[in-house]
Structure 1
Amino acid sequence: MAENTTDGGWFEGLRPGDLDGSRDAIESGSADSPADWPERAIEAGFVADEGEYYALLHEATVAAAETAVRERERADDQQLKHGVRAMDDADRTANELAERLAEWAGSVYDESGSGVDYARDVAARDPEGPVEERVVSLASTIVDLSDEARELESFIEARAPIAAPNLAALAGPVLAARLVSLAGGLEALAKKPSGTLQVLGAEDALFAHLRGHAPSPKHGVIYTHEYVNGTRPADRGSAARALAGKLTIAARIDHYSGDRRPELEAELDERMRTIRARAGDGEGDDE
C-alpha cells in the first residue's frame, strides 16, 4: 500500500494499466491504518468494480514478487553460490571423464596415464583414424572442463571479497563461497548458529549420528581451513568451534552492515595460538 498522509490507497495517482507503478507502490508503500481499499479504488475511479480491483492487485503483487526474486538471484552472494557449484561440477566431471579416458586411451596407445594431466598429453596428439579422433576429442573436452573450473575459481577469488569481505578474509574466498552455497545464501548463513555452520557439509555424518550409528561430526567443509586440518587431531574440535564462531560473526557483519572488521582475524589468530599451545602442555580436548 502506498505511503501517503491521506490514506488514499496504494493506487492513488496511478493509471489502471500502470503495472510498474502499481508494483512499486505495493513493494515500497504503506498506509497508516486499514481501510476498505476496493471501495476506495472504485470511488477514485481506479477500477469499475471489486473484481477488477482484485485482478489488478493480483497482477501487481505477482509482478512485485517476480522482481524481488530476480533481484535476489542476481545478488553477489547468489553469484558466488552458482560459481562454486559450477566449479565443483566442472572439476568432478573432468575427473570422472579422465578415468574413462585413461581406460580408453590405454587400449589405443602404448603409453598409459591417468588424471587431467594425462588428458592434456592426449589432447595434444595428432589423431590417426576415427578411434583416435574420438579419444583426442574426449581428452580436449576434459581439458576444457578443467580449465573452466580454474577460471571459475579465479572468479570466486575476485567476487567473494566483494560479497562477503569479512567471511572471505577469515575463511579464504573458496571456502567462504562454499559456506554461502551450502547455506543457500549469505542471509541464511548469517542466521545460522555457529554450531550449525561448523558442520555444514557433513550432513550425512550428522544424520548418521542422530540415528545413533556414528559419533557427532566435529566439522564439515571448514576442515579444509588450515586452522582445522593443520591442528593436531586432539585439538581439532576446539579449533573447529573457534573458527566457526568467528566465521558466524563475520557472516553476520557482512550481511547486516558490510563493513570490514580486520580485528576478527587478529582475534581468531590469538585464539588459535592458545589452542595450539596445548600441544606443548600435552593437553587436548579429544572431542
Structure 2
Amino acid sequence: MTDTDADAAPDAGWFVGLPAAGDGDSARTRERIATGSADEPRDWPRLAVDAGFAETTDDYYDRLHDAALDATRETVRERERADDQQLVHAVRAMDDCERTANELAERAAEWAGSLFDDAEPGIDGARAVAEREPEGELERRAVSLAARVADLADERDALAETIDRLAPAVAPNLAEMAGPELAARLIALAGGLESLAKKPSGTVQVLGAEDALFAHLSGRAPSPKHGIIYTHDYVRNTRPEDRGSASRALAGKLTLAARVDHYSGERRAPLHDELRERMATIRARAEPDRDSDTDAEGDDE
C-alpha cells in the first residue's frame, strides 16, 4: 500500500507503506505517529507483521517506541523554539543578569574600596572603577571585575529592550494590558502563553505568590490577594482596602487577554476599555471617603 493509500485509509495503521528497515524514514514515521488516527483499536502488532513492516511483535513495539520518541523530540524542539518560549528565556536571563550583577557589585565595591579611596558602591560605582587605569596586578583584577559587573548590567538592559520589542508581537493584548515586562513574567511563571491562557483567573491572580499560597494552604497565613500583578499600577496605586477587588478585576482581564492572544492573536480593544472602566469604578469608592474627610475638616473649623 502506498502513502496515498495510507492517507485514504487511516484505519489501516500508521506503519502501512513504510519500509521494513527503519533507516532513513524517521521523518515519515514521525509524521505518521503525530498525525495518525484510527476509529477503533485493532491488532496493530499482528497487522504490522503481516504487512512486512516488522519481523515480530517485539520488533513492531521497538519501532513504535523509536518513532514515538522521534516525534516527541521534534515536538519539544519546535515548542522550545516558539516565540513565547524565547520570551521566557529572555526574561529569566534578564533576572539572572540583574541578580548576578548586583551580587558581584557588592564584591567589586568591597575590593575597590580597599584599593581606591573614592570607590562607590553599586552598579554605578562599578562602572566608575571599570574606567580606571590600573596599576599593578591587584588593581587590574579589581578593575576587570568591575568591568564584568558593568557588562552584566548592560546585558540586562539590552534584554529588557528585547522583551519590550518581543512581548507585543507574542502577546499583543497581554503586553498592552500588563506592560511588556509583566506580560513576559506572567508567561514565564505559567510556563508559556498556552499554559497561561488555560489557567483560571484566580490562579493568574496569585502567580508569583506561591510561597504565600502554600503557607495559607498549610494554615500558617491568610490567603494572598495578589502575586506579581501587584507591580501593576492598577493594583499598587489602589488603596489597600480595594486591592483585592483590583487584583481580581485585573487578573480576570489578563486571563482573557492571554486567551485571545493564544487562540487568535488579534488585539481586542473592548478588553482594555472594560478594564479601565472597572478600575475607575473601584477607585471611585475612595471618593465618598475623601468627601467625608473634607466635610469633617470643615465642621472642625
| Bin for the TM-score computed over the shorter chain | over 0.9
Q: State how 1:274-285 maps to structure 2 within 5 Å.
A: 274-282=281-289
Task: Map 1:221-232 onto structure 2 (within 5 A).
Answer: 221-232=228-239
Task: Spell out, residue by residue over 1:233-252, the C-alpha distance to the aligned partner (whole angstroms, 9 max, x if none).
Answer: 22211111111110011111
Correspondence 1:208 to 2:218: no
Q: Return the offset for 1:8.
A: 2.4
Q: 2:123 aligns with which of 116, 121, 132?
A: 116
4+ runs deviating over 3 angstroms: none
Q: Specify the code of the residue in structure 2 equivalent to 1:67.
A: E
CA distance in 1, matches of 2:40, 2:227: 49
1: CA distance, partners of 2:133 / 2:10 = 79
Corresponding position of 1:154: 161
Matches within 5 A, 1:69-84: 69-84=76-91
Matches within 5 A, 1:54-133: 54-133=61-140
Flag structure 1 segments of 5+ consecutive residues without an equivalent.
none
Q: Secondary structure at 1:282's aligned position in 2?
A: helix
Alignment match of 2:183 (pick from 161, 168, 176): 176
Contact 2:193 2:262 in 1 (8 A): yes
Q: 2:17 aligns with which of 13, 20, 24?
A: 13
CA distance, structure 2, for counterparts of residue 214 and residue 49 of structure 1: 60
2: CA distance, partners of 1:211 / 1:42: 56
Query: Residue 6 of structure 1: CA displacement?
Result: 6.5
**Alpha-carbon distance in 2 for matches of 1:266, 1:199:** 23
> What is the Cα deviation at residue 3 of structure 1?
4.8
Q: Does 1:166 align with 2:173?
A: yes
* TM-score w.r.t. length of structure 2: 0.89
The correspondence for 1:193, drawn from 200, 224, 230, is 200
Whether the 8 Å contact between 2:171 and 2:258 is mirrored in structure 1 is yes
The residue that corresponds to 1:32 in the other structure is 39
Q: For residues 160-193 of structure 1, what are the alpha-carbon distances to aligned partners after superposition, in whole Å with 9 as ceiling and x for unaligned?
A: 1122111111101110110111111112211211
On the 8 A contact 2:201/2:255 being kept in 1, the answer is yes
- Give the whole-Å Cα distance in 2 for the aligned partners of 1:239 and 1:6: 52
Task: Read off the aligned partner of 1:70 and give its amino acid letter.
Answer: R
Which segment drifts farther, 254-263 or 125-134? 254-263
In 2: Cα distance, 1:179 partner to 1:51 partner: 46
Range 214-223 or range 141-150, more displaced:
214-223
* Structure 2 letter corresponding to 1:250: A
**Structure 2: segments with no counterpart, 5+ residues:** 1-5, 291-301
* Residue of structure 1 equivalent to 2:255: 248
**Partner deviation per Cα, 1:258-282 (whole Å, 9 max, x = no partner):** 2221211111111111111111112
Deviation at residue 80 of structure 1 after TM alignment: 1.1
Deviation at 1:144, TM superposition (A): 0.6
Deviates more, 1:208-217 or 1:122-131: 208-217
Task: Give the structure-1-normalised TM-score.
Answer: 0.93
Q: Alignment partner for residue 271 of structure 1, among 274, 278, 287?
A: 278
Larger radius of gyration: 2
Question: Take 1:281 and 1:192, find their aligned partners in 2: how far apart are those partners?
Answer: 36
CA shift digits 1:182-227 (9 cap, x unpaired): 1111122112111111111111222222333333222111111111
Shift of 1:56: 1.1
CA–CA separation in structure 2 for the residues paired with 1:111 and 1:226: 39
More divergent stretch after superposition (240-249 vs 10-19) = 10-19
Q: Where in structure 2 are the equivalents of 1:139-150 lying within 5 Å?
A: 139-150=146-157
Name 2:294's counterpart in structure 1: none
Aligned length: 282
Q: Which of 236-245 and 9-18 deviates more?
A: 9-18
Give the counterpart of 1:41 among 25, 39, 48: 48
Q: Give the secondary-structure state (helix, strand or coil) at the position aligned to 1:258.
A: coil
For 1:100, the aligned partner's letter is: R
* Contact 1:4–1:30 (8 Å) recurs in 2: no
